[in-house]
Every structure is written in structure tokens, then in C-alpha cells.
């Protein structure tokens, strides 16, 4: 690291240099730390290369004029008073942090970043001029952005655009190596989202009325709670960890993923049936605070030691007590989950078994009725073909 003293001087190769008197093309072999020095402007390093990190964060800079042309490490200019990135280095091999400024534009930002790019907590309304390729995380959270047009199309780590005013995911990166955060916006649709997310996908606290257009496969968690969903149609077919769709307006679970790697949470909806629930979950099933739900018929299959969190009325209906609701968290610690029972006890319960039999009879009756209707329709169509145009038989 190039140790910068109070006179902005540093030692390199046995010589003393001043940041205010460096020749063009000079290479600083190490980090340059100018943070927290009450600076209002930078020394002119525009023709200098820094073979390390350059930090000018936590100052009073209103411009990046004078910043080095090339930085081999990270470039940190966060927590200043910048309104523009003009003058920023165009080559940054690691992270670029311009968060917590007063930026209204990303003009001047490098177009390729080797590490993370963070421009959160500014006054941005657009991602115009944003880097188009980011090797690490990209974050533009907590601005006033309304559109993802101009966003990078390739992000090696997480993509975060949460806490904005975005109404559409059109323009979102189609290749994201980590998590995708678009929660706390004004989205009504997931059209434009990447098809596959290897980690977590967060679209909670929006105005979604549908999950159509969202990713088909999510390797981690999928959160879509606190929206206006009336259906789970369009949800991923498989979710590797937690699926959380609580606090919506769901009546059934039709369209839910067929497999969820950990807990499935659908509490605080308007459920009248668990029809459409995942065939299998890896941990527990939460459906409490659904007062119209009268049966657990259709609940997902779950492994030994896991169970269902439901309302008192349902627990009482099947004859369980609070003592039956102790669940193992996997670490040998038993705890009482509000209004819960073991799955293995439920499926052996005679009341539940009777519900299954009744449902099976109803299913057979429906199938027989549909078959008779199909036969009648086929017979009627055959009869019409026998009739002449005048309506008489041959």
C-alpha cells in the first residue's frame, strides 16, 4: 500500500512523491486511500495508473475529475456528494462503489466491472449508462428507478434492484449467477425475469397479480409474499429451498411448484382448499391464518420429523392437542410451532383417512359423469350425421 501522509506524499522505490506532482503515465504500486480527508476535489491523477485499490469515500466530493484512468483493484467513491460519475476510471478490475451520493445519472461509469458494482441509495431514475457486464454483484437498490432498461445483461453474482419504483422487469439481466432481488417495487408482472435463477428470487412486497413470466427454476428461495396474487399459475416448477406465498389473496394452491426443497408457506391468504399444493416438501408446511380452510386434504408429503402449521380449529378437528405439535428443527431441539402436528400422525389419522376415501369417491363420480357426458355427446354427434339436410332419416 502507498502510505499517503497529510501532505499527500508517499514513498515508492526509495523516493518520495506527491500526488499533486506526478508525471503522466506514472504507476502507483499499491493502494491509495484518500477516504475521510474532508476533500472537496481530487488531485489530478487522470493520467496515472493505480496498481491496487483507490478509495476516496466519505469526503465532500462533487466531482470525480482527477480520478486515476485505470485501477487494478477496487474504486470506492461512496458517501460523497456526487451527482455524476464523469471522470471515473474506465478500467476497474475489482469493485466499484458509488453508493450513498446524490447521483442522478450513471454517465461516466465504466462499462465493464470485474467485481461488484453498487450505486444504491442515490437519486437515480434510470439505469442508462450502467455497466453492461459485471463480474460480481450489481446493486441499484433504494433509488427512484422506474425501468430496468439499460441494466447489465450479464451479472456474475447477485442482482439487486429492490426498493425502487420499477413497474416491469423488461430489460433485466438474463444471466444472473447469484440472487435476484426485485422486491419492494411496483411490479404487477414478472415478465422479463431470467428463466433460471440458481440461487434466491425475491419478488415480495410488490403489486403482483400473477407469477407468469417468472423464472421456471429457482435453486434457492422463492419469496412472493405480500402481493395481490389470486393464483400461483406461473410459479417455478421446482424450488430448491423455501417457497413463501403468504399474505396474498389465494383461494387454492393451483399452480404451485411440484417440489419444494424446504418449507412451503401459504399462511394469511383466503384458502378454502389445499388443492394444487406441492407433491413434496423437504421440511414443513405452513397454512395457518386461513380461517376458511376446513380440511388439510391435499397437504404435501414431507419427511420424518416435520409437520403442519395450521389453525386451532383444524388441529382440533383431527383430534390433536398442543402436545402433538412439537417439531424437530434438525438440530435435536424440539419446539412448539403454533397450532402444529406431525405429518406422519396426520396421514395415519382416521378422520383424515376418511376424508381421503370420500374424496376418492367424489373423484370417481366426477369421472363417471364426465364419461357419460362424453358418450352422450359422441352419440348425439353421430345422430346428427345421419340426418339429411332436410332433417329426415334415409
Give the start-to-end residue ranges of the domains of the chain.
1-100, 111-186, 193-200+208-348
Dist. CA 40–CA 81, nearest whole Å: 9
Instruction: Centre a 10 Å sphere on the Cβ of residue 276 and count the other Cβ atoms it contains.
Output: 17
Dump pLDDT digits (tens) for 17-71. 999 999 999 999 999 999 999 999 999 999 999 999 999 999 999 999 999 999 9
Dist. CA 317–CA 332, nearest whole Å: 29
Dist. CA 188–CA 207, nearest whole Å: 5
Dump pLDDT digits (tens) for 66-90. 999 999 999 999 999 999 999 999 9
Dump pLDDT digits (tens) for 162-219. 999 999 999 999 999 999 999 999 999 999 999 999 999 999 999 999 999 999 999 9
Report whether pLDDT(390) > 60: no
Residues 6+ apart with CB under 8 A from 320: 341, 345, 349
Q: How confident is the model at residue 339 (pLDDT cuts 50, 70, 90)?
A: very low
Residue 82 C-alpha cell reads as: 456526487
Dump pLDDT digits (tens) for 113-167. 999 999 999 999 999 999 999 999 999 999 999 999 999 999 999 999 999 999 9
Residue 245 C-alpha cell reads as: 406465498
Percentage of the chain beyond pLDDT 70 is: 93
pLDDT given at position 349 = 94
The alpha helices in 188-328, defined as continuous H runs, are 312-317
Dist. CA 366–CA 361, nearest whole Å: 9
Half-sphere exposure of 290 (CA within 13 A, CB side): 29
Dump pLDDT digits (tens) for 309-321. 999 899 999 998 8
Burial class (CB in 10 A: 0-12, 13-18, 19+), 385: exposed
Q: Residue 219's Cα: distance from chain center in Å? A: 11
Residues 6+ apart with CB under 8 A from 69: 46, 47, 48, 49, 89, 90, 91
Q: What is the mean pLDDT of residues 334-342?
A: 56
Q: How confident is the model at residue 337 (pLDDT cuts 50, 70, 90)?
A: very low
Q: What is the mean pLDDT of residues 343-363?
A: 89
When computed from its CA atoms, the radius of gyration of the chain, rounded to whole angstroms, is 30
Which range, 234-243, 305-314, 374-383, is most confident? 234-243
Closest residue by Cα to residue 272 from 255, 256, 287: 287
With beta carbons less than 8 A apart as the criterion, state whether 155 and 140 touch.
no
If one compares 325 and 92, the residue with the highest pLDDT of the two is 92
With beta carbons less than 8 A apart as the criterion, state whether 150 and 132 touch.
no
Report whether pLDDT(394) > 90: no
pLDDT given at position 388 = 61
pLDDT given at position 375 = 81
What is the reported pTM? 0.88
DSSP state letters, 291-349? TT----TTPPB--TT-EEE--HHHHHHTT--GGG-EEE-SSS-EEE-TTEEEHHHHHH-
Residues 6+ apart with CB under 8 A from 196: 215, 216, 217, 218
Q: How confident is the model at residue 389 (pLDDT cuts 50, 70, 90)?
A: low
Dump pLDDT digits (tens) for 258-301. 999 999 999 999 999 999 999 999 999 999 999 999 999 999 99
Report whether pLDDT(338) > 60: no
If one compares 369 and 249, the residue with the highest pLDDT of the two is 249
Amino acid at each position: 500500500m502507498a502510505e499517503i501522509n497529510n501532505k499527500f506524499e508517499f514513498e515508492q522505490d526509495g523516493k518520495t512523491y506527491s500526488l499533486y506532482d506526478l508525471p503522466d503515465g506514472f504507476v502507483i504500486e499499491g493502494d491509495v486511500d484518500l477516504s475521510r480527508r474532508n476533500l472537496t476535489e481530487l488531485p489530478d491523477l487522470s493520467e496515472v495508473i493505480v496498481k491496487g485499490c483507490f478509495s476516496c469515500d466519505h469526503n465532500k466530493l462533487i466531482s470525480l475529475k482527477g480520478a486515476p484512468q485505470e485501477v487494478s483493484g477496487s474504486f470506492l467513491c461512496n458517501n460523497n456528494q456526487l451527482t455524476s460519475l464523469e471522470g471515473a476510471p474506465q478500467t476497474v478490475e475489482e469493485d466499484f462503489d458509488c453508493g450513498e451520493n446524490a447521483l442522478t445519472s450513471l454517465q461516466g461509469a465504466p462499462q465493464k466491472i470485474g467485481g461488484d458494482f453498487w450505486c444504491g441509495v442515490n437519486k437515480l431514475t434510470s439505469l442508462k449508462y450502467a455497466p453492461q457486464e459485471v463480474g460480481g454483484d450489481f446493486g441499484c437498490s433504494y433509488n427512484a428507478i422506474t425501468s430496468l432498461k439499460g441494466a447489465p445483461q450479464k451479472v456474475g453474482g447477485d442482482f439487486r434492484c429492490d426498493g425502487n419504483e420499477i413497474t416491469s422487469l423488461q430489460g433485466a439481466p438474463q444471466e444472473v449467477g447469484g440472487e435476484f432481488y426485485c422486491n419492494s417495487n411496483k411490479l404487477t408482472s414478472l415478465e422479463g425475469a431470467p428463466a433460471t435463477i440458481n440461487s434466491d428470487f425475491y419478488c415480495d412486497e410488490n403489486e403482483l397479480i400473477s407469477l407468469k413470466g417468472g423464472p421456471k427454476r429457482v435453486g434457492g428461495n422463492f419469496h412472493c409474499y405480500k402481493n395481490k396474487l389470486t393464483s400461483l399459475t406461473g410459479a417455478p416448477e421446482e424450488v430448491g429451498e423455501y417457497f413463501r406465498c403468504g399474505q396474498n389473496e389465494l383461494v387454492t394452491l393451483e399452480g404451485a411448484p411440484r417440489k419444494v426443497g424446504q418449507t412451503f408457506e401459504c399462511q394469511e391468504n383466503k384458502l378454502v382448499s389445499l388443492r394444487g399444493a406441492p407433491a413434496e416438501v423437504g421440511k414443513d408446511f405452513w397454512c395457518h391464518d386461513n380461517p376458511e380452510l376446513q380440511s388439510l386434504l391435499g397437504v404435501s408429503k414431507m419427511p420424518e420429523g416435520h409437520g403442519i402449521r395450521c389453525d386451532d380449529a383444524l388441529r382440533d378437528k383431527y383430534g390433536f392437542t398442543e402436545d402433538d405439535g412439537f417439531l424437530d428443527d434438525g438440530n435435536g431441539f424440539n419446539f412448539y410451532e403454533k397450532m402444529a402436528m406431525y405429518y406422519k400422525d396426520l396421514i395415519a389419522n382416521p378422520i383424515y383417512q376418511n376424508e381421503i376415501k370420500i374424496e376418492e369417491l367424489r373423484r370417481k363420480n366426477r369421472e363417471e359423469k364426465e364419461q357419460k357426458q362424453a358418450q352422450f355427446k359422441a352419440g348425439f354427434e353421430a345422430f346428427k350425421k345421419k340426418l339429411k339436410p332436410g332433417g329426415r332419416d334415409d
